[in-house]
A and B are shown apart, each in its own frame.
Chain A
Amino acid sequence: MIRAVIIDDEIHAAERLADLLAHYCAAGVTLAGHALDAAAGLALIRDTKPDLVLLDIHLGAATGFELLEQFPDPDFSVIFTTAYEQHALQAIRFSALDYLLKPVDPDELVAAIQKKTNLAARAPQKASLELLFSNMRFHNQGLAKIMIPTMHGFELVNIPDILRCHSDVNYTTIHLVNGDSFLVAKTIGEFEHLLASHHFYRIHQSHLVNLNFIRRYHKGKGGIVVLQNGLELPVAARRKEGFLQKVQSLL
């Protein structure tokens, strides 16, 4: 039996989620309580020591992330809940953490709870959370840095040092300006979303490039981009127009 708490500053959302848990997940979950702001949430977690926290990202003046940072090594699992916070959602997905979109779909809730039940050890989320916090912090402070999980740990990368990303189905290779490269178990689409505001453009299904390192462009059906290291990459025909517009907006 999983002991869960709900932290959500929106009372309707909190009560609805409690109701859904009682109705759809009664066999697997008991609700240990709910809190409507970050301070109460902190106390609630400390008091009830839950297995699972259903945590809203937006908590009045604070965020769910700030609340979580109070627990350097949390012994509970987290499912974020949110209605519409695009950047935070991208960061959560990037950190491979769980989330539910409000209004929560009962079927998705059941699936998420199921996942938590099945993972007997309820995998330690410490690394994932640290990844999330770092990337959110970089983002909020306007720093052009990104923490990327790798096979062996993580890489802390200066975004301007990224030359390009290359996709290999579900994996992505990150190529840095200094010639280093490393493989990440994430799709190129996730990097595309994370890096879009840093002058990166997806010129091709397989290629995401840093526009600052483009030296030349050869016209063609889609055309070819030549990077500063001499590498030639194709531009997909349907991305050509967007690419040229983006380049122009940089000038």
Chain B
Amino acid sequence: MPYLSFLLCLLISFSGVYAQQAVTDSLEGRLQQPGLPDSQRLALLTDLAYYYASSHPATGLQYAEKAIRLASQRYQFRPLATAFNYKALNYQRMGRDSLAITWYEKAIALARKGKYVTSEISAMHNLSILYCDRGNYSQALSIRQRVNTLLAGQDDKRRLSLSLNSTGAIYLQLADYPRALRYFQQARQAAPAAGNTAAALTALENIGLVYKKMGQPDKALQYYGEALEGYGPEGSNIARSNLQANMATLYDEQGRHKEALSLFRQALATDRQAGYSRGIARNLTGMGTAYSAMQQYGAAFNCFRMADSILLQAPDANARCALYATWAAAIMHCPDTALAAAGYNRNGRTEAAYALAGKALAYARDSRLKEREMQLTGFLADIRQGQHQYRQALELHRQYVQLRDTVLGEDSKIAFLKQEMQFEADKKELQHQLALQQQKSRQHITLAAAALLLLAGGGAFFIYKKRRDYRQARSELLLKAAISESEMKVLRLQMNPHFIFNSLNAISRYLLNHDTRQADYYLSKFARLMRSILEFSGEKLIPLKDELETLSLYVQLEQMRMVRKFDYIVAVDPQLATGHTFIPPLIFQPFVENSIWHGLSRSATAGYVRLQITAKGDVLCCSIEDNGAGRQVKENPGRRSYGLQITRERLRLLNSERENGHAALLVYDLEPGVGVQLTLPLITEES
């Protein structure tokens, strides 16, 4: 179940600050106090700007601006730098990245000028995170290096450790796992031995994450476990429940669903205590995933529904995307009984799954989760393909291919960036070495390195492109094959399996009644009919003559089998050269079958089915009429419309292939009976 595995992605947590209503309320209360000295007022304003950033950045921005005004009036440059920093932070939370960058840079410049190292570090730290989020990893890294250098000089172990963690996280994004690991380990060592161990625990968790990414789940679990131990069993710690959820996800991916469930439950309890609704929803989604993997679909659907109701109150596109995608997959995979028990309609299975996955897709687009968007599009395509709606499936598949290219493109961009950065690093090293050597050879080597890089890059791109093109061509071909395959399937479906088994049954009955002559006669006709169907199944179009022959063979068999006798009347326009007029094979058969079994078999009067074919202009007008019981009689639902639906689909295919598409279908009531008007393009000598 590939769609289950991507759902709960790991968050690289740097600082878990939850702006709490209580904190901002109390700060605002203090701000109202009369006669507050400016310095305290300024501190309160910047604090408010900071705390509001995570809950309500628009308000945070106002406080930051107030702080900036006050600090400028009072020439308080250190708080001014902080206020710049928080203004940027609020812009960042509002998604206005370029403004955020501008204000971070102002904060950094001011702090550097005034040598307010802490402020400079804080602003650079934020800016680096912003660059990292925007995928600008080289900028993020170069800023991060400076932060690390400054922090090392500051002897602020906690912050150094956190910054090293962030450095590792950037390398993790770049899929440079060895470097990421090195930084995380440094972060762990740098963390202060006593006091606040959050930095060390984050480092442990991140090391686990690297191992997970490197495909070493056992090692990952080991480090996660170590971190979990560090958190201890006490209290309601959201960082711990986050870790538990991450561990649970990994267990679930390892197929250890029971362990996953137990961890999700623990995390759920903690998050419930803390009232952390995103966490609650995430854990419930995870539990649902585990339950459906264990095929306990009832419990799974319960979890999904609970998660859904929580997310209604605390909307989170990311979490919703995960929930709906897993839910949809569960609906697709669960057996009928479980589906019914959960209150779903069995026939509505694919549509329910499709609707949910569609919702998930919308949220994936909202949160720009390209990879999920790609997977969901693929999932939707598969559903449509399963429903034999190949045109839609093809369209979705095209989107999927496009998305996949984008995702792969991101990967290759990252890979290229990595190369570029490696090159920068190498160049510096080279320059360092070559300072001792002659200028001439230095140029040579740099040139050679550049040429080599170009060559390698070009080669890599070439191989990538070739592989991509090949894959794309292949999948297009496969889909085209699926379309023609669908046509064949449709053809095979045309012959109602009931007919085949009822025929065999009739033969048996003749034998039991010792009417062997009749049995033999029926059998030889039946064999001929099967042979024709077999031959037609490879053809898109066949001569009308062959169709009429096969149809009359079919009717002959039905006439033998039916208790009530009926006439079969064929009236073909004598002008029509039936050997040189082409129609899709077995296109009339379902209607004749409907007439016989839904109309005539119920009618008391002498029945007939009449097939009329005339050419009018560039179309072939065909009608199939009977004088049977008609449509108003309550009938086995679905069967008559099933043949109709298949024929509609075939006509649509026919129309889409021919530009002079005229194919159409009309069912009308007669007194008594039913008529079907089938219009087909007149295909003779081709234009």
Contacts and interface: CB of A to CB of B under 8 A. Distances in A.
Given A23-B517, A237-B658, A238-B657, A101 B528 contact: yes
A16 B658 contact: no
B504 to A, nearest CB: 14
Contacts of A105: 524-525, 527-528
A118 to B, nearest CB: 22
B521 A106 contact: yes
Nearest to A239: B686
Interface string A79-115: 0000000000000000000000101111010000000
Interface in B477-521: 517, 520-521
Contacts of B520: 16, 20, 106
B686 A238 contact: yes
B671 interface: no
Nearest to A207: B686
Interface in B261-311: none
A210 interface: no
Contacts of B517: 23
B665 interface: no
B659 interface: yes
Interface in A33-60: none
A101 B535 CA distance: 14
Contacts of A16: 520
A106 B686 CA distance: 38
A224 B520 CA distance: 52
Contact of B686 (A23, A101, A103, A204): A204
B580 interface: yes
B213 interface: no
A223 to B, nearest CB: 13
Contacts, number: 38
Contacts of A172: none
Contacts of A177: none
Contacts of A20: 520
B540 interface: yes
A237 B524 contact: no
B524 A205 contact: no
B429 interface: no
Contact-residue size bin, chain B (C-beta under 8 Å from the other chain) = 10 to 19
A183 interface: no
B524 A104 contact: yes
A103 B523 contact: yes
A143 interface: no
A205 B521 CA distance: 37
Contacts of A194: none
Nearest to A238: B657
A236 interface: yes
Given A105-B528, A106-B521, A221 B659 contact: yes
A234 B520 CA distance: 49
Given A169-B580, A238-B657, A205 B528 contact: no
B531 interface: yes
B525 to A, nearest CB: 6
Nearest to A105: B524
Interface in B227-284: none
A106 B659 contact: no
A236 B659 contact: no
A226 B686 CA distance: 18
B103 to A, nearest CB: 57
A65 B520 CA distance: 29
A105 B532 CA distance: 13
Interface in A96-152: 101, 103-106, 108
Nearest to B685: A205
Contacts of B659: 221, 237
A221 B658 CA distance: 10
Interface in B637-687: 657-659, 684-687
Contacts of B684: 205
Contact of A236 (B525, B531, B686): B686
B524 A238 contact: no
Contacts of A104: 524
Nearest to B526: A103
Nearest to B556: A107
Given A101-B528, A104-B524, A238-B541, 12 more contacts: A101-B531, A103-B527, A105-B527, A105-B528, A169-B580, A205-B685, A234-B686, A236-B687, A237-B686, A238-B657, A238-B658, A238-B686
Interface of A: 16, 20, 23, 101, 103-106, 108, 169, 204-206, 221-222, 234, 236-238
10 contacts: A20-B520, A101-B528, A103-B523, A103-B527, A204-B686, A205-B684, A206-B686, A236-B687, A237-B657, A238-B657
